[in-house]
Structure 1
Amino acid sequence: MRATDYARPPRRALLGAVALLSMAAVAAGDPGEPAADVSPRREASDALRAKLATPLQLNSAGEAELRKTLAQLARAVDAELFVDRRIDPTTRIRLSVGETSFGQVLDLLAEQAGAEWAAAGDLIYVGPPGTRQGLPVALRDARRRVAKLNGRSRRAWRAKRAIDWERLATPRALVERTVAQAGWRLDDADAVPHDLWPAGATPEMPLGERMTVLLYGFGLDWRPEQRGRTVAIVPR
């Protein structure tokens, strides 16, 4: 199975790579106001919507690897990107010289990679076709499940925390870590398939939504059981 690729590699890796694409943010009015040509994503935070509208000047053209191009984009606008394990990060993509916005470049890259992207708060999730509709639905379902819990449990799963992990981390360990941060227990850890992921991170987000993001690439979801404070992993 292909490991999830987080498109924000260490600074050392970026400096050592040959830059096939040069990008520079262009000053354009109030950075807090999204441009009219960028459609706000339903689950995007205000900060991310502003970043999606950030103008970019593409100073060179040519083929590049999807993973490296996304990494450069993330650095250019200080965005957080997470690439679904079902997307090949080595896919070759091509961009043309010119001025555009971060959101428009994401649309173009996703189209060339046979992918879609969707926002989850401050996070941009790049996944297979269906992600643009499917991930927001999964996030809303997670919020509805959390809303049905008692007050203490609701507060625990709504708590916003960031997470990062080292290279070769397993999604199973990350799910267990998330459940433990909520003060709950994972009912069947083996229900999370084994995989090895490169180093990565997610920004601050509710623990319940982080669970959804971590499991989405496996076609799985999570169900909280108030009695016993346990979490079951189930098909989505």
Structure 2
Amino acid sequence: MFAWCGLAANAVDATDWLRGPALRTRLESPIHLTWNRRELKEGLVGISKQLRVAVFLDRRVDPHQRIDIAAANLSVGELLKTIAAEADLGQAWIGPVLYFGPRDTARQLPEVLDRRRREVANLAAPQRRLLGRRSALTWPRLTTPTDVLREVNAAYDVRLDDSAVLPHDLWDATELPPLSFVEQVTLVTSGFDLTFQWEEPARSYRLIPFPAAAESNDVARPATEPDRRADAAASEEPEAARRDQRVADIERRRITLRVAEARLESLLAHLERQLGLQFEMAEAHDGERGDARADSAGDQDGPDSLLSQRVTLEVSEATVDEFLSQLFANTGLRFRREGLRVHVSRER
């Protein structure tokens, strides 16, 4: 289990990045983490270094946007998805590197990568071996993406069409794990919504726009590391059975969390995403609505008016109900849980 301690990495230092089975194990490991108004890039770089899970932030994303995270008993993989959701970003795996970027780009990346890999797989054996060779991708601060591509091309003895011009950009120092030629070029060009097309296979290529989603021959699937498909039978499982399983899971869940001055509304949104709870706001609990209507002339404020307040709490190994009891204590709100549904009303 990991506890995030808020460290950040500001330089390129050699990191023993996780790959393959070790990476899968890490992504399934539980973690507790709290961010209060933490800058996105600073937080991602820090957690990436600590957990040895390589991440890459698209050039178009504001690295200074501030994120609130309250993660309790999530897996590392779930946490990274939560961070992306909070920043309104998509995710895609480029080899052992988790890309964070615009949702449209992230949605197309798996298919783009799959096409480029199939093209390499159809080459002669010597060319396949050369382009499939994995090498670490690093560059110092103030490097341009054109410079990065130039180094990649030199390493694999290929040429980029002279007419190709990437917009001038200066990138921060970056260190990534060993990647193949396709993965390296895709990672660099994805921030411009570009991919590549061979002019002379394994010799020279040119940059082209991402294919439109409608042009894809296959339905794009989220890229995961490793590339494991969900069991098809799961999609056929009756909805009632799936719901019962989610309820059973929530009953077994134990929560460890510490937050300070966090907005109650933000915490509830986190809990909906992370635990699958559904919070429903009402004037009063069922059975009390007559009283609520009688009082409504003198009190028009429902529970929504109390959600902007800030709360501080610390729980350890609490059940869901124990956690909710502490969460709503002294807020002027009360709750009643029925499975995954949590009815919240103003105290009367």
Q: Bin the TM-score by the shorter chain.
A: 0.7 to 0.9
In structure 2, stretches of 5+ residues that fail to align are 1-7, 211-348
The offset of 1:187, in angstroms, is 1.5
Determine which of 31, 51, 57 is the counterpart of 2:26.
51
Mapped contact 1:45–1:121 kept (Cα < 8 A):
no
Determine which of 193, 203, 224 is the counterpart of 1:219.
193
1:6-54 deviation per Cα after TM superposition (whole angstroms, max 9, x unaligned): x953289xxxxxxxxxxxxxxxxxxx9xxxxxxxxxxx84332222112
Mapped contact 2:105–2:193 kept (Cα < 8 A):
no
The offset of 1:98, in angstroms, is 2.8
Mapped contact 2:137–2:177 kept (Cα < 8 A):
yes
| CA–CA separation in structure 1 for the residues paired with 2:82 and 2:153 | 36
- Is 1:77 matched up with 2:78? no
| CA–CA separation in structure 2 for the residues paired with 1:45 and 1:120 | 13
Name the counterpart of 2:118: 144
Determine which of 144, 147, 152 is the counterpart of 1:170.
144
1:183-202 deviation per Cα after TM superposition (whole angstroms, max 9, x unaligned): 11122264222211010022
Moved more, 62-71 or 147-156: 147-156
Moved more, 78-87 or 66-75: 66-75
Name the counterpart of 1:62: 36
| CA–CA separation in structure 1 for the residues paired with 2:157 and 2:36 | 49
For the residue of structure 2 that corresponds to 1:86, the secondary structure is coil
**What is the aligned-residue identity percentage?**
33
Using a 3 Å threshold, how does the CA distance of structure 1 residues 9 and 134 change in structure 2: closer, same or farther? farther
Using a 3 Å threshold, how does the CA distance of structure 1 residues 212 and 201 change in structure 2: closer, same or farther? same
The one-letter amino acid of 2:111's match is V
Aligned residues: 199
Mapped contact 1:115–1:129 kept (Cα < 8 A):
yes
The offset of 1:81, in angstroms, is 1.0
Larger RCO, structure (CA 8 Å, separation 6 or more): 1
| CA–CA separation in structure 2 for the residues paired with 1:230 and 1:141 | 17
Determine which of 165, 174, 180 is the counterpart of 1:206.
180
Mapped contact 1:159–1:207 kept (Cα < 8 A):
yes
Name the counterpart of 1:121: 95
The one-letter amino acid of 2:125's match is G
Bigger Rg, structure 1 or 2: 2
- Is 1:10 matched up with 2:11? yes
Name the counterpart of 1:232: 206
After TM superposition, the score normalised by the length of structure 1 is 0.76
| CA–CA separation in structure 2 for the residues paired with 1:11 and 1:147 | 33
For the residue of structure 2 that corresponds to 1:163, the secondary structure is strand
The offset of 1:157, in angstroms, is 1.0
After TM superposition, the score normalised by the length of structure 2 is 0.53
The offset of 1:97, in angstroms, is 5.7
| CA–CA separation in structure 2 for the residues paired with 1:8 and 1:136 | 29
The one-letter amino acid of 2:41's match is R
Using a 3 Å threshold, how does the CA distance of structure 1 residues 115 and 98 change in structure 2: closer, same or farther? same
The one-letter amino acid of 2:110's match is P
Mapped contact 1:176–1:189 kept (Cα < 8 A):
no
